[in-house]
A and B are shown apart, each in its own frame.
Chain A
Amino acid sequence: MAKKPVNFTLNGQDRAAFADDGQNLLEFLRRGVGDLSPKYGCGQGACGACTVLIDGETQLSCLVLAETVDGKAVRTASGLAAGALDPLQTAFMEHFSAQCGYCTPGMLMSARALLDHNPRPTRDEVIEAISGNLCRCTGYEPIISAILAVAEGRVRA
């Protein structure tokens, strides 16, 4: 099976690794690159646990061919804390927005993309942004509250 070299940035750092033919980005990130923050939930794009940002847009990494990120910028939850926690991470802790935590990295990335594009979203826009991310524990309300708290500047930096 042919391997393809993939040059990309992961959370701002230059990375180069070989992707197996047909390997999806989630498996490539977890096994090839060692970033375990995107989670495998369903493997068919229905749960959102594997959400990452590619050139600033949310993508389900289980549905993306690894070789297609060549030359692109990939961001994952493991890169959110640069020195200090991302305000979203702080807000998720303060609002008890995680129980088992499996959806959390995907939720954080969907929320990050939303706030990057739209720093002051309405509640409906927050709901729309996380509507592709399933959560089994929290009932969603604490997650919505955390994202709105960041949008409204109610989180300590």
Chain B
Amino acid sequence: MALHRGRGFAAINYPIGMNLGGDPSQALVHSNPDGKFTVALSAIDLGQGMKSVTRQIAAETLGVPIEDVYVDTADSDTGPHDMGSFASRGTHRMGNAVIQASLEARSVMLEAAAEELEVDAADLVTDGRGNIHVKGAPSRSITTMAAAQAAQFKQGRTIAGRGIFLIPLSEVDPETGEMTPVSCFAHAAMLVEVEVDDETGEVAVLDMQSAYEVGRALNPKLVEQQLRGGAWMGMSHAIWETTEPYYPAREHGPRDFNFYLMPGPGDLAPHHISVLERPAPDGPYGGKGPGEMCANPVLPAVVNAVYDAIGVRIDDLPVTPEKVLRGLKAIGGARPRKAL
């Protein structure tokens, strides 16, 4: 009886968004009389950081401090329409809609400022710190708050903007089957090292090395957070989690967290992450979205590593000790693909 080490590799392409009835997101941006901005969205932040990223995008586009932007995702009944937070589409779809809405709001803000400064709006720039001034003449300036108040109480303008980003439905060509279901792909590669116990059938992930190409990482810390947590979930799907271990039979399914197995804090593997930034041409400031793909390469990499370690090819997830032992029995014992 022995422990066998193996390495497995996987590479994935992951589509951003989906192709059902078309994939639109809307955003509405307006200023309040204090010169701060509200971005209304109907897709929600599940903890992945969508509010932070859309806030960054709005502040960058409007040319105001990030503290002056509030992202409101409170109510999909009253907010602008959105398909939702799924399919890794948030940064890409909502981000583009937020840029369009913010550009419209910015142009009204500059018109209001231009009227107060008695200059042409085309000559105005923002400093990102709450001021609007004449290009090349920083002393001829007005705060965004003063511009917003002038618009509200003097000029009767609404500093607001509408944005939509739509990937239209791609029909299938009946002759060739050709279609364009997605406009943007993210990419990843992962190398996993495992140890398989040929007596108990247990698989331990020892090490993960990954490279993710996510467009521009609009918020690098949030990207890393997604990749780290997502790889844990991928590892969990690869060797722990299942709701129906003998599907389609329902027996022995977990009823609660005592039986639904997941790796705990003592079952972690070091994860070395490289993020490659290649800005996407149609992404907001080049961003794509790490989203779901952060879990995906782990599963095939683990299965390949198990094959490398003991010569058992498992094609039914998760890789439970029972499947490993049955596989070993079928081939008459471990047959490591190569000595490490």
A contact residues vs B (CB 8 Å cutoff): 42, 44, 46-47, 96, 98-101, 124, 126-128, 130-131, 134, 136-144
Interchain CA distance A107-B222 in the complex, whole Å: 20
Instruction: Check A138 against B46 for contact (C-beta < 8 Å).
Output: no
Cross-interface CB contact of A44 among B47, B225, B256, cutoff 8 Å: B256
Residues of A contacting B224 with CB < 8 Å?
96
Query: Is B266 among interface residues, defined by CB-CB distance under 8 A?
Result: yes
User: Taking each of B221, B225, B230, which has the highest tally of chain A beta carbons within 10 Å of its own beta carbon?
Assistant: B225
Query: Is B264 among interface residues, defined by CB-CB distance under 8 A?
Result: yes
Instruction: Check A134 against B262 for contact (C-beta < 8 Å).
Output: yes
Instruction: Check B47 against A98 for contact (C-beta < 8 Å).
Output: yes
Interchain CA distance A141-B235 in the complex, whole Å: 14
Instruction: Check B256 against A139 for contact (C-beta < 8 Å).
Output: no
Instruction: Check B229 against A143 for contact (C-beta < 8 Å).
Output: no
Shortest Cβ distance from A101 into B: residue = B47
Instruction: Check B221 against A96 for contact (C-beta < 8 Å).
Output: yes
B contact residues vs A (CB 8 Å cutoff): 46-49, 221-222, 224-225, 228-233, 256-258, 262, 264-266, 268, 271
Residues of B contacting A143 with CB < 8 Å?
265
Residues of A contacting B230 with CB < 8 Å?
139
- Say whether, besides A100-B47, A138-B228, A46 and B258 are in contact (CB < 8 Å): yes
Instruction: Check B47 against A140 for contact (C-beta < 8 Å).
Output: no
15 A-B residue pairs with Cβ-Cβ distance under 8 Å, sorted by A, are A96-B224, A96-B225, A99-B46, A99-B225, A124-B266, A127-B264, A131-B264, A134-B264, A137-B47, A138-B232, A139-B231, A140-B264, A141-B232, A141-B271, A142-B225
Residues of A contacting B222 with CB < 8 Å?
96
Residues of A contacting B225 with CB < 8 Å?
96, 99, 138, 142
- Say whether, besides A100-B47, A101-B47, A139 and B266 are in contact (CB < 8 Å): no
Instruction: Check A46 against B256 for contact (C-beta < 8 Å).
Output: yes
Instruction: Check B232 against A42 for contact (C-beta < 8 Å).
Output: no
Residues of A contacting B256 with CB < 8 Å?
42, 44, 46
Interchain CA distance A126-B266 in the complex, whole Å: 10
Interchain CA distance A85-B321 in the complex, whole Å: 45
Shortest Cβ distance from A94 into B: residue = B221
Cross-interface CB contact of B265 among A44, A98, A127, A137, cutoff 8 Å: A127
